[in-house]
Amino acid sequence: MSLYELSQNALMASLLIYSASFFFYMIAVGGKKWSNREPQAHAARWGWIGFAVAALGLAAHITFFITRWMAAGHIPVSNMYEFMTMLAMAIMIAFVITYLIYRKALLGVFTLPLAVIIIAYASVFPSEIQPLIPSLNSSWLRLHVTLAALGEAFFAVSFAAALIFLIRVTDYKRTDKSAKAARRWLEFVLLVILIVVGFLGSVFTFRAAGYEAVFTQVETVKTPQGEEQTVTREVRYELPPFVQPHSSEVVSMQPFLGLTEPLFEAPSWMNGVNAGRKLNTIIWSILTGVILYGLLRLIFRKQLGAVIHPVLSDIDPDDLDEISYRSIAIGFPVFTLGALVFAMIWAQYAWGRFWGWDPKETWALITWLFYTAYLHLRLSRGWHGTKSAWLAVIGFVVVLFTLIGVNLVIAGLHSYAGVS
């Protein structure tokens, strides 16, 4: 077995172990009211089992990281696959630290799936080891990426705590307008999470089935000299195409449930690289996410928040508020150091300027400004609790946009980290 294969197996192992740990945490939290047991002792016992298993998963994850590092000859943080697997690892490290401080089993119930989802998302990208291009060959870059991910991981833990807080404090009995609105927003967040799950589910299902559709797209591009040129490009889909790229023709397409040709064409203003494929992927994700949500609603016959809410009744919301705040307070200096200061030092060495308003750079600053505003608002009365929790949720959305959205929507210097 080569080092590379060893590392791939270690990652797969960690994925399975994390899932097991999630299961144990579920027992710890959900099984408290089972008969013939002392709730406190039960939670403590299964909480520790969950934690031990999570730590084992993290050990496998670190093994993946180190063996891949050895196989590649450079620290694996230089493309989207490597970054995302490391982000998941950082989240687990942040989880271990926060868990050791607060010992709340619930944190495991929400953080472990997050790590699993991110590893799954990483697996959407090619896992092969790529040699470095010169600008990425820098120790400052490695420090930058690693520490930025660690800071973001604490923001992720804060997001998890904030989400539990919101489900915990949402009132499922009141019938007034504001209570209904609060429940609806919470349902929306859960729906978005299911859309992400839907995205992963559809990508892996069709990948396993070996689905493929191929198009040729004719594009007009401007050369730097201002001349117009037509370029013919081949676009490959892994998901059945509802939408085909703008001004393209079908080369080959496996039929899917009677769908033998795309339903429509991407509009012309969507002219970015692979815009048609991205649109198609988004449609698929939303579709599967909504179907998943609908199925769950049919099974439980109530809002999903209302399904989780009763499990959380004996948790002190003030503690959750504190954990969410504290994770941000711990992550903020790390994020500043990693995502801004080391990034500036690297930029200074690589391009001779420490700041260039590149979209990715700017979004890192926006993330920082957002959490700065959060930390200042915590000083004011009235910004603890629900408002603060919503900010932590939005903050994590900003983090995800910086990491993924910028690459999806806006291309810049960081576009090496391509997105499916």
Partner 1 sequence: MISNTKCECGHQNPVGTVLCEACGKPLLEELMQDSEAPLEMRYEGAARRSQKANPHLIDRIWNFFSSVKVAVWLIVITLVAASLGTFLPQESTILNLHTYEEFHEYYKSEYGRTGEIFHALGLTRVYDSWWFITLLVMIGTSLVVCSLDRVIPLYRALSKQQVRRHWQFITRQQVAYVGDAPQDREAWLDRFAKELKKKRYKVRRDGDALMAEKDRFSRWGPYINHVGLIIFLLAVLSRSIPGWNIDTYISLDDGETEQIPGTRYYVKSEKFTVEFYTDDELPESMKGKLRPKLFNTKAILYECVEACGDPTREPVLKKVKEHDIRVNHPLEYKGLKLYQYDYTPQVKLISVSPKIVNKETGEEYGPFTLRMRDPDLTYQVGPYTLTLRDKFMEFGGFDAEGRPMSKSREPIAPAFVFIIKGPGLPESGETYIYFPRDIDKVIFQQDVLNKAIADKVEIRVSSMEDVEFSEFTSTLNVRTDRAMPFVWVGASIFLIGVAMGSYWHHRRVWLRFDGDKMALGAHTNKNHIGLRREVSGILARSGLPVPENTLDNRRKSH
Site for partner 1, rule CB under 8 A: 101-102, 126, 128-131, 133-135, 137-138, 140-141, 224, 226, 269, 316, 318-319, 322-323, 325-326, 329-330, 332-333, 336-337, 340-341, 344-346, 348-354, 357, 359, 362-363, 365-366, 369-370, 372-373, 376-377, 379-381, 406, 409-410
Nearer to partner 1, 184 or 387 (CB): 387
Nearer to partner 1, 116 or 339 (CB): 339
Nearer to partner 1, 224 or 258 (CB): 224
CA distance 164 to 78: 33
Nearest to 77 by CA among 91, 92, 59, 89: 89
Shortest Cβ distance from residue 289 to partner 1 (Å)? Answer: 25
Shortest Cβ distance from residue 85 to partner 1 (Å)? Answer: 17
Nearer to partner 1, 286 or 337 (CB): 337
Nearer to partner 1, 22 or 335 (CB): 335
Shortest Cβ distance from residue 99 to partner 1 (Å)? Answer: 13
Nearer to partner 1, 172 or 354 (CB): 354
Q: Could you tell me which residues come within 8 angstroms of residue 322 by beta carbon, excluding any fewer than 6 positions away?
A: none
* Strand (E) or helix (H) holding 82: helix 80-102
CA of 102: how far to CAs of 43, 96, 308, 322, 332, in Å? 14, 10, 21, 10, 19
Nearer to partner 1, 21 or 85 (CB): 85
Shortest Cβ distance from residue 344 to partner 1 (Å)? Answer: 7
Shortest Cβ distance from residue 18 to partner 1 (Å)? Answer: 26
CA distance 68 to 75: 8
Shortest Cβ distance from residue 205 to partner 1 (Å)? Answer: 22
Shortest Cβ distance from residue 298 to partner 1 (Å)? Answer: 37
Shortest Cβ distance from residue 173 to partner 1 (Å)? Answer: 18
Q: Could you tell me which residues come within 8 angstroms of residue 166 by beta carbon, excluding any fewer than 6 positions away?
A: 186, 189, 386, 389, 390, 393
What's the half-sphere exposure (Cβ side, CA atoms, 13 Å) at 309?
A: 17
Nearer to partner 1, 102 or 242 (CB): 102
Query: For 401-404, which contacts have Cβ atoms below 8 Å and span 24 or more sequence positions?
Result: 401/363, 402/360, 402/363, 402/364, 402/366, 402/367, 403/83, 403/87, 403/152
Shortest Cβ distance from residue 121 to partner 1 (Å)? Answer: 20
**Cβ proximity of 330 and 324 under 8 Å:** no
CA distance 102 to 100: 6
Backbone angles phi, psi at 228, to 5 degrees: -95, 140
Backbone angles phi, psi at 109, to 5 degrees: -60, -30
**Cβ proximity of 377 and 39 under 8 Å:** no
Nearer to partner 1, 90 or 115 (CB): 90
Nearer to partner 1, 196 or 350 (CB): 350
Nearer to partner 1, 196 or 337 (CB): 337
Nearest to 239 by CA among 273, 183, 201: 201
DSSP code per residue over 107-172: HHHHHHHHHHHHHHHHTTS--S--PPPGGG--HHHHHHHHHHHHHHHHHHHHHHHHHHHHHHH--S
Shortest Cβ distance from residue 359 to partner 1 (Å)? Answer: 4
Nearest to 83 by CA among 360, 281, 345, 275: 360
CA distance 248 to 233: 9
Shortest Cβ distance from residue 200 to partner 1 (Å)? Answer: 22
